[in-house]
Amino acid sequence: MKSEMKTIFAAESAPLCVAVLVLADANALALAASVDPMRAANRRAGRTVYRWRYYSAAGGPVPLTAGFEIATEPLTVRTEADALMIVASFRLAEQATPPLIRLLRQQASRLRAMIGVDGGSWILALAGLLDGQAATVHWEDLEIFADRFAAIDVRRDRYVISGRFVTTGGAAPSLDMMLELIRARQGAELALRVAGALLYEPVHSAAAPQHAVSAAGLARTAPALGRAIAMMEARLEDPPPIAAIASAVGLSQRRLEMLFADRLGLSPGRFFLDLRLDEARRMVTDSGLALGEIALRCGFSSQVAFARAFRTRFATTATALRRQGRGGLPASKP
């Protein structure tokens, strides 16, 4: 029975067998971050603690975003594995075909874990497998994902382990998740040696929030600036005045302005506006939300102000940009 299946995140001497389902145009870095820690763990453990094979819906070579292909076998109901890892990024709606969805549902009852990497979360959600579960997806898609799948507890975490289902926000969170898997199964010492081999500092917990702007360095060298950026990211819909942000992080407005100018080369007001407009552009191209709704979600009190700011930043209108793209599922990831 499913409820009796032992979690893969627990000490175990037997090798873990992982079927890696690779969709066309998957992010090569996300795939490497999910698979290479297993290779490194085997090497440093001096024995096979992980086994994996690559699969696709039809088998054969699958193209990745980096311009090369990976050889795969066809995934079938007879494919044996402890866990199925779905790595996907682009063309999600096109590839989530009824036969693939049926196959994933059939596999679900037999597997100890199903892992969605990057756009893999969308594939699991479209199959209805994440209903009633907590899950995450790349930060660009969080709001659209939550709107689309009301039965899922959508979180901004880097990765989420919810029963037998694991979801990650992209490449680096997948590496964090794999290091946690190694730690849970083989111990902290092997996980640290694998991280060292990959020259990666495992400083992020599962619940650490995803950020639109990578501010890890700022958190160490200019913590107040990092906190100000995090506050901006959290308040896109209701942007506070720069003076309020400065006060909240314990700085004068003048000092905050100097920090932004010194570290980022622009004012905090300009940075905050660009952050909101970048999010608006993503919503225009990757969602079917009305432009008025996008304006509100990105902190613009009027559509006129939104239209003016959008055209100034991107040299085109939101309407024209939308005509060039397509709504629905996100078309791409970084």
Q: What is the secondary structure of 79-127 as a DSSP string?
A: ---SEEEEEE-S-HHHH--HHHHHHHHHHHTT-SEEEEEETHHHHHHHT
Poorest-pLDDT segment among 25-29, 64-68, 211-215, 285-289: 211-215
Number of domains in the chain: 2
41: burial class by Cβ within 10 Å (0-12, 13-18, 19+)? buried
* Mean pLDDT of the region 287-298: 90
Q: Shortest CA distance to 145 belongs to which of 178, 172, 167?
A: 167
Identify the residue with better confidence: 283 or 49.
49
In-domain check, residue 329 = no
Residue 222 shares a structural domain with residue 136: no
Quote the tokens at residue 130.
Answer: 């994440």
Q: What is the pTM of this model?
A: 0.71
Q: What CATH number did the domain enclosing 302 receive? A: 1.10.10.60
- Domain of residue 253 covers 216-324
- Helix, strand or coil for residue 161? strand
Note whether 24 and 90 are within 8 A (CB): yes
pLDDT confidence tier of residue 207, bands split at 50, 70 and 90: low
In-domain check, residue 106 = yes
In-domain check, residue 332 = no
Mean pLDDT, the chain, whole residue set: 88
Q: What CATH number did the domain enclosing 31 receive? A: 3.40.50.880
pLDDT confidence tier of residue 279, bands split at 50, 70 and 90: confident
Q: What is the pLDDT of residue 4?
A: 63
Residue 60 shares a structural domain with residue 140: yes
Q: Shortest CA distance to 34 belongs to which of 45, 48, 50?
A: 50
Note whether 195 and 179 are within 8 A (CB): yes
The predicted-structure confidence for 34-64, as pLDDT tens digits, reads as follows: 999 999 999 999 999 999 999 999 999 999 9
Q: Shortest CA distance to 47 belongs to which of 14, 69, 71?
A: 14
Write the CA distances from 248 to 35, 272, 298, integer angstroms.
41, 15, 21
Q: Shortest CA distance to 91 belongs to which of 31, 171, 26, 19?
A: 26
Poorest-pLDDT segment among 35-44, 120-129, 184-193: 184-193
